[in-house]
Amino acid sequence: MRVTFTVNGREESAQNVWEGESLLYVLRERLGLPGSKNACEQGECGSCTVYLDGVPVCSCLVAAGQAEGRQVRTVEGLAEGDRLDPVQEAFVECGAVQCGFCTPGLVVQAHDLLSRVARPSDAEIREALAGNLCRCTGYEKILDAVRLAATRKAAR
Amino acid sequence: MDFLRPTTWQEALAAKADRPEAVPIQGGTDVMVEINFDVRRPPALLDLTRIAELREWSMAGGHCRLGAGVPYAAVIEHLGGPLPGLAQAARTVGSPQIRNRGSVGGNLGAASPAGDSHPPLLAAGAVVEAESRDRGVRMIPAAEFYLGAKRSALEPDELIRAVHVPPATGPQYFSKVGTRNAMVIAVCSFAIALHPRERRVGTGLGSAAPTPRRAYEAEELLAAELDWEAPLDPALPARFGELCARAAAPIDDVRGTAAYRVHAIGVMARRTLTWAWNDHLEKRAA
């Protein structure tokens, strides 16, 4: 089947999509957007997190056909041109990236948190990121990055 | 595989009547896992996310009518007042991403004995609104809905439209055992709901038998022996816990042993009764 939806502000179409295919597969393999990562394929790891109609979801658990006509925003859509989003900047500056595989999902999820809660408590950050696994044990620096991004965003 | 995309409830019922083998998909948090892992290759997926009414809820006729597609996130944000037990359970589901997609209706459709919604629905006395094109609406009490592991009373041509939950008239609690405080399928779980007007207590056991189930004998004990005006008889929570544990019929599996589950059900029953009773007395004193 053919699936058409808006990705990062642009309408995109994918052809020959298998009906059981996930939104994640369409993004990565058909639309050339490999930022969202494919790891657990069961909603456990959060590395495929994208916005679907403004709400963060695991794109591996969205059937591609369910995205028809909807708005998707991936990690590739957070920066404005060459200017990184404050969350992305903070991840770089705090060393919140080791192997980098979990990073796109964490960045999208943290981006959503800060759009809803300007100055989240540590408990709120941990709760928001509870579904994003990092296996390099980088959580402390990830928390640092989210705190820094919150401070920067609040100062703007 | 076909991908069916009804935009109205009537279209969805017609699609399910014509293609009873089609698997309904709402948030996808169960269905897509099975497809991704090649556990299931349904001939058709019936996408219900385009039917806006399924994401609505309302208070009418003394019940909260929760559309089958209302995500856990909305239950948590909006329904913690009238449905505290269900909202507590919803907070323990998966992660924020999962709670943004997963729904009580989907939990019912999957009918996993470990589903977090089931114990509070049983304790509150919820009723499932199922519908088919040819036979119309059927109201199924939660206690009659679960027939076996991942098997429900739903007929192949039926869809879940909503679940009706009586708003709480007394304290409710949900308790769940798992290895961490997020992203956990229950090792076992327990829900309690005090119904002070009826002088009765509802229970629900999760992940402790082939189906979610009530602990009837334990409920009868409290109906017979609770003095609703007084502090708890210190012996009662322990006896309640024992009867709840006796209602469990769990198995050994990767998440825990049967013996551990029986023990944990007893502990959770005792604790949640104590918490609920403390709230009950506080409210009376206020």
Residues A94-101 have a mean pLDDT of 95
Rounded CA-CA distance B269/B237 in Å is 8
Rounded CA-CA distance B75/B97 in Å is 14
* Residue B183 identity (one-letter amino acid): M
- The contacts of residue B41 (CB under 8 Å, 6+ apart) are A20, B1, B35
Q: Are residues B97 and A20, on separate chains, in Cβ contact within 8 Å?
A: no
Whether the CB of B35 is below 8 Å from some CB of chain A: the reply is yes
- Domain ranges in chain B with CATH number 3.30.390.50: 172-285
Residues of B in contact with A128 (CB under 8 A): 96
Sheet holding B44-47, edge to edge: B2-4, B44-47, B23-25
CATH number at A86-155: 1.10.150.120
pLDDT for the residue numbered A155: 86
- CATH class of the region B2-165: alpha beta
Q: Are residues A22 and B29, on separate chains, in Cβ contact within 8 Å?
A: no
pLDDT for the residue numbered A8: 98
The CATH number corresponding to B172-285 among 3.40.50.300, 3.30.390.50, 3.40.1160.10, 3.40.367.20 equals 3.30.390.50
- Cα B19 to the center of its chain, rounded Å: 27
Residue ranges for chain B with pLDDT beneath 50: none
pLDDT for the residue numbered A138: 77
Closest CA to B70 of B51, B89, B88, B85: B51
Rounded CA-CA distance A65/B77 in Å is 28
* Tens digits of residue pLDDT in B248-267: 999 999 999 999 999 999 99
**How far does B33 lie from chain A, in Å, by closest CA?**
5
> What is the C-alpha radius of gyration for chain A, rounded to an integer number of angstroms?
15
pTM of structure: 0.97
* Tens digits of residue pLDDT in B169-218: 999 999 999 998 888 999 999 999 999 999 999 999 999 999 999 999 99
Whether the CB of B179 is below 8 Å from some CB of chain A: the reply is no
CATH number at A3-77: 3.10.20.30
**How far does B184 lie from chain A, in Å, by closest CA?**
9
In chain A, what are the domain boundaries? 3-77, 86-155
ipTM of the complex model: 0.97
- Domain ranges in chain B with CATH number 3.30.465.10: 2-165
Whether the CB of A66 is below 8 Å from some CB of chain B: the reply is yes
Report residue A70's pLDDT band, with 50, 70 and 90 as the boundaries: very high
Chain B CA closest to residue A70: B50
